[in-house]
Amino acid sequence: MRAWTPGDYGFLFCLGATPIVYSPWHMFAIIPLGKKGSSGFPIFTTFICVLCIIVHVFADTPADRMALAFHPTQLDPLKMFTSVFTHTDIWHLVGNLFFFYCFARTIETQVTPLGYVLAFVIFVLSTNLAFAFASTRDIPTVGLSGVVWGFMGMFLVRYTRDKVNCFIWFIWIFVTLEIPAFIFILAFLAFDIYGYRSGENLGTNYIAHFSGFISGVLFKVAFWKVFTTETPEPRRPQRSVRAPNTR
């Protein structure tokens, strides 16, 4: 997304620029639709999406959004949570929610409610704390995509070889493609790394993206077996090897 300068409120980092590639000048967009074969209704994921929409409708002025934003110099736990449900504009909101629903819904259907909520809380805290420790100025931040990257990190480790259904728009071409998860997620991570190193998109909170991704990977490695509801696949019986006959 972009840095936002609403009058006297200073710059506002979008905890966002969720990696939806969209430009009205280039007329190109790629939107993830979900993992092939995902099933089950994601109650918590849907609730979070609805809450983000409600906040966006009612927090419709720069002053309202600034009041909900997280300031890195204050370390306010409440603002850490209110900020992730707040977005600067409709494109920031829509981009985050598409990516969030795509990856978080799959994770939710494969873990216990406690595991999902714990992951969400960890991602909120870790991304905001990382941003606070890395910040050199008091630039407030809003948006869900630090959390989105957390679930993307979990998804990458758990479903590395699975495919993500994507809607792609290029000028007058509209297609849906299945893209391997590791290619899709690592490609967008590479775009973020390039943007961070090149200094482009100064309104993007790359620290939240990177810390969210790392938190997701670590959560999957440390806690997946504790909270997963997946049924282990049965082991294939091993063939017995007979000793050769001797004469």
- Per the listing, tokens 């620290």 go with 207
What pLDDT was estimated at residue 232?
A: 65
Residue 49, judged by CB atoms within 10 A of its CB (0-12, 13-18, 19+), counts as buried
What pLDDT was estimated at residue 157?
A: 96
pLDDT tens per residue, the chain (247 residues)? 333 333 333 334 444 434 444 444 455 677 787 776 666 789 999 999 999 999 999 998 999 999 999 999 998 999 999 999 999 989 899 989 989 999 999 999 999 999 999 999 999 999 999 999 998 888 899 999 899 999 999 999 999 989 888 888 777 777 888 889 999 999 999 989 998 888 776 778 999 999 999 999 999 999 999 999 887 655 655 565 555 555 5
Q: So where are the chain's domains?
A: 27-226
CA-closest candidate to residue 65, choices 89, 94, 96, 95:
89
What pLDDT was estimated at residue 130?
A: 96
Cβ neighbours around 179 below 10 Å, total: 16
What pLDDT was estimated at residue 245?
A: 57
Structure tokens given for 130:
């990382």
Long-range contacts of 35-40 (CB under 8 A, 24+ apart): 35/102, 35/106, 35/155, 35/159, 35/162, 35/163, 35/164, 35/165, 35/181, 36/162, 36/163, 36/164, 36/165, 36/178, 37/162, 38/105, 38/106, 38/109, 39/109, 40/108, 40/109
Predicted TM-score (pTM) of this structure = 0.82
pLDDT digits (tens, 9 = 90+) for 210-231: 999 999 999 999 999 999 988 7
What pLDDT was estimated at residue 16?
A: 43
For the chain, the C-alpha Rg in angstroms (whole number) is: 20
Structure tokens given for 138:
């008091």
Helix 90-108 with 145-158: angle, nearest 10 deg? 30
Rounded Cα distance between 12 and 9, Å, is: 8
CA-closest candidate to residue 56, choices 96, 36, 30, 85:
85
What pLDDT was estimated at residue 40?
A: 73
- Fold for the domain defined by 27-226: Rhomboid-like fold (1.20.1540)
What pLDDT was estimated at residue 25?
A: 42
- Per the document, the length of the chain is 247
Q: Are 13 and 203 in contact (CB under 8 A)?
A: yes
Angle at Cα 90 formed by Cα 84 and Cα 94, nearest 5°?
Answer: 70
